[in-house]
């Protein structure tokens, strides 16, 4: 059994490291939606003892069609990868993204526990909304599959069972109604030193 983490930003990688740093059987999936130093990404995965899978993202694609083509390629790789794995826990940060939705749907069938990590203010009342045109909804359903949903906000996926937040007391009510909410664990001095050394590697931060 392995743990799977899907990350889109360096912050996601750091939270993933804090969550699974003592586990040796982890698959870290990086979606290239933000700048990150490749040496930092490799150092994070190495420190976790995790296998690293790097996929394309918004940095390599522009416009609706460009993003669509990139995500189709990503889903093909993820379909082959997840099919071969027995998954115990999945940690995502953006359950709206098609790649995350796909992995959630697949590992749910394997009875994995599905966790959502904090992604800035997205899980709070001040978090933003996602808007879709009718054409975008139709095209996405046809291209991705019927498992895809036009979720309005991060944290909307009903398959999420656990949420980790900095401020659990102000998490949105619509998230609390389907997921248990826990506070992110504190960072020990030793972990702080290790994190600082990892952060020094990333020149993109």
Say whether pLDDT at 173 is over 60: yes
Cβ-contact 57, 32 below 8 angstroms: yes
Assessment of whether the complete model's pTM goes beyond 0.75: yes
Angle (CA) 162-111-103 rounded to 5° is: 75
Give the per-residue pLDDT at 187. Answer: 79
Instruction: State the burial class of residue 171 (Cβ atoms within 10 Å of its Cβ: 0-12, 13-18, 19+).
Output: buried
Comparing 14 with 185, the larger pLDDT belongs to: 14
For residue range 46-68, list pLDDT tens digits in order. Answer: 888 899 999 999 887 888 888 88
Q: Which residues are paired to 31 by β-bridges?
A: 55
> Which of 81-85, 124-128, 170-174, 191-195 is the least confident region?
191-195
Mean residue pLDDT across the chain:
89
Residue 120's SS3 state is coil
């Amino acid at each position: 059994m392995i743990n799977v983490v899907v990350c889109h930003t360096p912050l996601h990688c750091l939270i993933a490291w804090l969550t699974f740093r003592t586990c040796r059987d982890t698959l870290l999936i990086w979606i290239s939606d933000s700048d990150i130093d490749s040496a930092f990404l490799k150092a994070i995965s190495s420190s976790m003892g995790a296998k690293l899978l790097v996929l394309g993202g918004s940095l390599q694609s522009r416009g609706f069609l460009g993003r669509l083509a990139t995500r189709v390629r990503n889903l093909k790789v993820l379909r082959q990868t997840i099919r071969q794995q027995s998954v115990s826990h999945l940690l995502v940060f953006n359950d709206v993204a098609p790649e995350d939705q796909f992995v959630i749907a697949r590992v749910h069938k394997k009875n994995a526990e599905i966790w959502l990590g904090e992604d800035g203010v997205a899980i709070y009342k001040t978090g933003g909304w996602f808007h879709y045109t009718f054409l975008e909804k139709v095209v996405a359903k046809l291209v991705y599959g019927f498992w895809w949903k036009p979720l309005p906000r991060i944290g909307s996926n009903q398959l999420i069972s656990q949420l980790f937040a900095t401020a659990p007391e102000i998490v949105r009510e619509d998230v609390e109604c389907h997921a248990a909410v826990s506070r992110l664990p504190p960072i020990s001095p030793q972990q702080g030193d290790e994190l600082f050394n990892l952060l020094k590697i990333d020149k993109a931060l």
